[in-house]
Amino acid sequence: MNRLTHERCSGIKPGYWSPQRKEILIDRLGQYEDTGLTPAEILELKSRHRELLKAAEESR
């Protein structure tokens, strides 16, 4: 997934976003919110997915 924001040492980079870019950002945020998952839950799912893929590879 491509990031829509870019982190800096002082936090998220502020700046001007065009109306089109804002629409993309809002749509992406809505997709995330529709999952009903927290960032921590998503990271846990990713970790579990990697474990399952590794186990599947090892069983071949």
Tens digit of each residue's pLDDT, the chain (60 residues): 677 766 666 666 666 778 888 898 899 999 999 999 999 999 999 999 999 999 999 998
CA-atom Rg of the chain in angstroms: 17
The tokens for 50 are 């990697």
Q: How far apart are CA 44 and CA 57, in angstroms?
A: 20
Instruction: Supply the pLDDT for residue 2.
Output: 73
**Does this model's pTM top 0.95?**
no
CA distance 51 to 17: 39
